Amino acid sequence: MNTTAENTVVRTSRGLSVAGTRITLYIIMDYIKAGWTPKLIRDRLNLTEKQISDVTEYIGTHREAVEEEYQLVLKQAGEIRQYWENRNRERFARIESMGPPLGKEELWKKIQSKKRRLGLI
């Protein structure tokens, strides 16, 4: 017999999702892994109390399977990102070499400084 959590969490072409939305459990897992509380996740994704409660119950009940699927989704997303970064490497280098737009030099310096602190350049 299905629980209410299993009625709220459905499998779609995108994978495990909140019924009636385009929100996947993988998005919710991103927030959980980042330390967000269920209330913050609920508010951020505009879910109802019942939806977030059912989703957290489902994840708790099926933790191993959800985690395995989540890791697969992360791996696939990384591969896709790497493909597009490689495909556009020359374009990114050309854009980077252009320098700041006129009148935006100070903003450019701040952005470059932030990128260095984050290890992006």
The three-point CA angle 112-115-118 to 5° equals: 155
Q: Please give the CATH number for the structural domain made up of 4-87.
A: 1.10.10
Q: Summarize pLDDT for 67-109 with one digit per residue, the tens.
A: 999 999 999 999 999 999 999 999 988 988 888 888 998 998 9
Residues with Cβ within 8 Å of 50's Cβ and at least 6 positions away in sequence, in order, are 4, 8
Do residues 97 and 52 lie in contact, with contact meaning Cβ atoms separated by under 8 Å? no
Q: pLDDT by residue (tens digit) across 2-45? A: 566 778 999 999 999 999 999 999 999 999 999 999 999 999 99
> Given this model, what pLDDT does residue 39 score?
96
Task: Report pLDDT for 62.
Answer: 94
Q: Residue 9: its pLDDT value, please?
A: 94
Q: Which residue has the higher pLDDT, 54 or 101?
A: 54
Do 25 and 66 contact (CB within 8 A), yes or no?
Answer: yes
- Would you state the structure tokens that stand for residue 20, as one six-digit string? 């009636």
In contact, 25 and 62? CB cutoff 8 Å: no
Contact 18, 51 (CB under 8 A): yes
User: What pLDDT shows up at residue 3?
Assistant: 65
* Amino acid 97: pLDDT: 86
The band of 1, judged by pLDDT with boundaries at 50, 70 and 90, is: very low
